[in-house]
Amino acid sequence: MTGENTTAANYGSLDSVKSKYHDLAAAFRNSVTPLGQHHDKAVAGAGQFSAHLQPGAVKFLLSWREVFQVCETSAGLIAGNIGKTVVDLKAVDVDQSTDIRL
The answer to whether the CB of 19 falls within 8 A of the CB of 11 is no
How do residues 67-101 score in pLDDT, each as one tens digit? Answer: 999 999 999 888 888 887 766 666 666 666 655 55
Instruction: Establish if 97 belongs to a structural domain.
Output: no
Q: Residue 98: its pLDDT value, please?
A: 59
Instruction: Decide if 23 is inside a domain.
Output: yes
pLDDT of res. 1: 47
- What is the extent of the structural domain holding 70? 11-92
- Contact between residue 12 and residue 48 where contact means Cβ atoms under 8 Å apart: no
Residue 6 lies in a domain: no
Mean pLDDT, range 16-40, rounded to an integer: 91
| % of the chain surpassing 70 pLDDT | 78
Q: Measure the CA–CA gap between 21 and 25, rounded to whole angstroms.
A: 6
Are 75 and 21 in contact by the 8 Å Cβ rule? The answer is yes
Please check whether residue 20 lies inside any domain of the structure. yes
15 inside domain: yes
Asked if 89 and 100 count as a contact pair (C-beta separation under 8 A), the reply is: yes
Evaluate whether residue 98 is within a structural domain: no
Is 47 among the domain residues?
A: yes
Residue of 5 and 70 predicted with greater confidence: 70
Q: How many domains does the chain have?
A: 1
Residue at 85 is within a domain: yes
